[in-house]
């Protein structure tokens, strides 16, 4: 006996005005929950906390903390985009392919460059260069 097929999920058009903002906030929170399942993102959050401690130890100014906050938010944004690339690549190309490898490697490079920017900024503050 076969099971009746479940209906395919329907795309719901976006709501206008405040409803759209509320929906978008929910999507963003859902995305953060998905990002939290990534080991790399959890490690970056831990290193971000360590960096904040170092900035405090260095006597960083409010502007330094703000600058780091922006860089760290960009790191998490790039990590989220990298995760999205990986998820889509695995869906589109579950078998090994050069294109899939290149897409994942480029996403990883983007994250790595943002990590270097964050580390470089904290080091520059610690050395009194900024």
Quick one: tokens of 7?
Answer: 């209906």
- Answer yes or no: is 104 a known binding residue: yes
- Answer yes or no: is 44 a known binding residue: yes
Closest to 81 measured CA to CA, from 109, 50, 59, 119 = 109
Q: Which of 5, 6, 79, 95 is catalytic?
A: 79
- Answer yes or no: is 10 a known binding residue: no
Quick one: tokens of 58?
Answer: 């260095």
User: Please, what's the largest Cα pairwise distance for the chain?
Assistant: 73
The answer to whether residue 79 is catalytic is yes
- Answer yes or no: is 38 a known binding residue: yes
- Answer yes or no: is 108 a known binding residue: yes
* Dihedral sign computed on CA atoms, order 29, 33, 36, 41: negative
The catalytic site residues sit at 79
- Binding-site residue numbers for ATP are 27, 38, 86, 104-105
- Binding-site residue numbers for substrate are 40-44, 79, 108
- Binding-site residue numbers are 27, 38, 40-44, 79, 86, 104-105, 108
């Amino acid at each position: 006996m076969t099971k009746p097929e479940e209906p395919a999920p329907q795309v719901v058009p976006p709501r206008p005005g405040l409803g759209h903002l509320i929906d978008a906030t929910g999507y963003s929170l859902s995305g953060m929950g998905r990002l939290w399942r990534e080991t790399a993102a959890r490690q970056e959050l831990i290193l971000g906390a360590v960096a904040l401690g170092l900035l405090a130890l260095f006597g960083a100014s409010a502007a330094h903390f703000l600058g780091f906050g922006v860089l760290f938010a960009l790191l998490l944004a790039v990590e989220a985009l990298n995760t999205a690339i990986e998820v889509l690549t695995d869906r589109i190309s579950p078998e090994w392919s050069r294109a899939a490898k290149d897409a994942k490697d480029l996403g990883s490079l983007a994250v790595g460059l943002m990590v270097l920017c964050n580390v470089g900024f904290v080091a520059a503050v610690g050395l009194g260069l900024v």
